[in-house]
Amino acid sequence: MFDATPTLFGLLVGFLVGLTGVGGGSLMTPFLVAGLGVPAPTAVGTDMVFATLTKFTGSVQHYRQRSVNLEVALFLGFGSIPAGLLGVATLEWIEGAFDPETVKSIMITVIACTLVLVGASLIYRNYFMPNRDASPKPHVWDGKTKMSTRRRAYTVVFGAFGGYLVGLTSIGSGSVMAVILLLLYPLAPAVVVGTDIAHATVLSLVVGLAHMTQGNVDFGLAGSLLLGGIPGVLIGSRIAPWLPGKPLKTVLAVMLIFVGVRLLLTY
């Protein structure tokens, strides 16, 4: 008998992604692990497939709109992709070194801490980052000037931090990376979003393939999630211009922190 629960949750997550731009991994992975009882490695790998396919359309659209800074995305990838693969290897080591219950406990703790970090980063991004208009001002780095060696090094290092979290938990490819971009580059918001999504698509693809080779992807489950997720993204994207983004993201951030703290206290 067909279980509609993953499809309905995929619809909800896709809708929130389209509405707020916040990555679905922050919601999807905890749901799969704590809600459906999916083993953590399978939940992470399946979410990576879901994330790759849902982000791909957005990245193509941003590229057409010329809101992707390829140089920044490239140097983020230099750090995030190797670190993401290291995150996958760490997850495999945990799975092989401990019994299933201990693996579940370790991964829920890691996921919960990451959720709190993501929620806090969203609040920081909404309320404490400098405000920038949609069009760059003279002091805003436009991406046409060649990046300095120091800026490139920072990009690789911070990209590695975010990439490792993604490889280990599938969380952070959107929200954490966006905050890193805002901290390192005074870019226009549209370019931050476009560059973040383009980079996250490639990162999710590589990490997802790594999880596939380890047998960590439930393709049937991924299909059920995408059945709801793709229309959810389209609906959310259509409604987004009509709703206030900042309050929605704040509510979502508080919810992520609440879920993270509850997981820490429960498991």
| From 48-52, 90-94, 111-115, 247-251, the region with the lowest mean pLDDT | 247-251
Does any domain span residue 8?
no
Q: What is the pLDDT of residue 140?
A: 40
Q: What is the pLDDT of residue 245?
A: 65
| Closest C-alpha among 101, 104, 107 to residue 171 | 107
Does any domain span residue 22?
yes
Domain that holds residue 249: 14-266
**What number is the average pLDDT over the span 182-189?**
73
Does any domain span residue 64?
yes
**What number is the average pLDDT over the span 41-56?**
86
**What number is the average pLDDT over the span 45-59?**
83
Q: What is the pLDDT of residue 5?
A: 86
Q: What is the pTM assigned to this prediction?
A: 0.81
Distances (CA, A) of 124 to 32, 168, 192, 250: 27, 23, 15, 10
Distances (CA, A) of 82 to 77, 87, 249: 8, 9, 30
- Both tokens of residue 153? 């090094």
Percent of the chain with pLDDT over 90: 22
CA–CA–CA angle 195, 198, 204 (5° rounding) = 130
Q: What is the pLDDT of residue 265?
A: 84
Q: What is the pLDDT of residue 129?
A: 66
Does any domain span residue 87?
yes
Does any domain span residue 9?
no
CA–CA–CA angle 108, 157, 177 (5° rounding) = 55
Q: What is the pLDDT of residue 191?
A: 79
**What number is the average pLDDT over the span 115-129?**
80
Does any domain span residue 5?
no
CB-CB contact of 79 with 163 (8 Å): yes
How does DSSP classify residue 242? G
Does any domain span residue 52?
yes
Number of structural domains (the chain) is 1
Give the contacts of 38 (CB within 8 A, at least 6 positions apart): 32, 46, 218, 221
Backbone angles phi, psi at 134, to 5 degrees: -65, -25
**What number is the average pLDDT over the span 25-33?**
82
- Per the model's pLDDT, the better-predicted residue between 19 and 1 turns out to be 19
For the chain, the average pLDDT equals: 82
Q: What is the pLDDT of residues 146-182, one digit of tens each?
A: 677 888 898 999 899 989 989 998 887 666 777 777 7
- Per the model's pLDDT, the better-predicted residue between 237 and 132 turns out to be 237
**What number is the average pLDDT over the span 36-55?**
87
Q: What is the pLDDT of residue 91?
A: 93
How many other C-beta atoms can be found within 10 angstroms of the C-beta atom of residue 92? 16
Q: What is the pLDDT of residue 141?
A: 45
> Residue 136: is its pLDDT beyond 50?
no
- Both tokens of residue 24? 């679905």
> Residue 107: is its pLDDT beyond 60?
yes
Cα–Cα distance, 81 to 76 (Å, whole number): 8
Does any domain span residue 1?
no
